[in-house]
A and B are shown apart, each in its own frame.
Chain A
Amino acid sequence: MRRFHLTPRRIAFVVAATLGFGTAAGFAATLTVGSWHLWAGSQTLTKATCPTLSGTTSTTDTYVVQATPTTSFGSSTTMLVKSNSGSQDWSFVRFDLSSCGIPTTGGADSATLTLYVTTAPGTSRTLTVTPVLSTWSGTLTWNTAQTLTYGSSATTTIVTGTTTGAKTATVTVDVDSLIKNPSANYGWRISDSGSGNATTTFATAENGTASHQPQLSINYEK
């Protein structure tokens, strides 16, 4: 039998042949990946702030009184929220967002409604802020307010405290919806479903003190 000698040359051949096979096997395995679809991209967002909305140019507000169900108060300088069962008052406020120029593909990052209490109740009240889903104007009355459509749940609440001053409510989710569907901008109803007989008075857009008028602040992306 012929003897086989393991020389450096033979070792080099074996290594080269084995490495070549192994590499080829690796590439063959990756070919199956080539049958996939693949796409990647990105979209950069721009952040902006809408100048605070206030005043009669951008605000519509009023209140309705159950005790006088056919009377409207659209030109009043104050608006009332009253809790007394059977003799309630509701306030309504909405803002025209068109001056902000937010595209319907944008969205609210944050939105804050500010109302100024001009006459506070004797004990602190928790008022309910509910989105209004159908149209209304300054001629709204208690009776016509009963025909409006309201959100199935409140957006947030406002705690009045017992002193005058600005009160804020976060309304981001509603403003985000308004940005995407501007034609459905009907604002909010503020009501007091608590027990007892308490009245909270807010300044309206017609109020002579500009800083007391309802305000809406919006930070958004587009």
Chain B
Amino acid sequence: MNTLSKTLGFLVTVAATFAACAAAATLAVASTSLSAGNAAVTSCGVSSLTATRNVNNSGNVTQVNVGGIPTACSGETLSVALVSSANASLGSGTATIGSCTTTCSATITSFGATVAATSLAKYSFSVTGT
């Protein structure tokens, strides 16, 4: 009986340990996998995006305008990172893609940092949503 109690206690401990491992594994997978190997992740029809930007008289970016977004993306979230020639992020921002009839557009006006247009070499985009 004593041995059985010890054994059951051990099993409970082992189960709890692996339950914790399972939770940890879930977090790790969920935070990194997204599209990897999962056919259920699709886009809303975007094949490419292009942006224009406005500057103030000091040459700093004041807003980024993204057009030509498919209507299926309406309501989803557009994220834009402003990237330097060294591939470093200079700033980033997000906007919700509004409702639209033909193609959608979105404007981002806050990047979390002052970004000089002369340093801007690339836009990186992502569109996410349910």
Contacts and interface: CB of A to CB of B under 8 A. Distances in A.
Interface of A: 1, 3-6, 14-15, 18-19, 21-23, 25-27, 29-31, 33-45, 47, 105-110, 155-156, 170-174, 176, 180, 219, 221
Interface in B74-129: 76, 83, 117-118, 120-129
Contact of B124 (A14, A21, A27, A40): A40
A30 B118 contact: no
Given A15-B14, A21-B18, A37-B128, A108 B55 contact: yes
Given A19-B18, A176-B55, A45 B122 contact: yes
A5 B123 CA distance: 65
Interface residues of B, number: 58
Given A6-B6, A25-B26, A43-B48, 18 more contacts: A6-B3, A18-B17, A21-B22, A30-B38, A37-B41, A37-B42, A37-B76, A37-B128, A37-B130, A40-B124, A41-B48, A41-B125, A47-B118, A47-B121, A110-B118, A156-B57, A171-B57, A176-B55
Interface of B: 1, 3-4, 6-7, 10-11, 14-15, 17-19, 21-23, 25-26, 29-30, 33-35, 38-44, 46, 48-59, 73, 76, 83, 117-118, 120-130
17 contacts: A3-B3, A18-B14, A18-B18, A19-B21, A26-B22, A31-B40, A33-B30, A36-B128, A38-B41, A39-B125, A39-B127, A40-B127, A41-B126, A43-B122, A173-B56, A176-B54, A221-B120
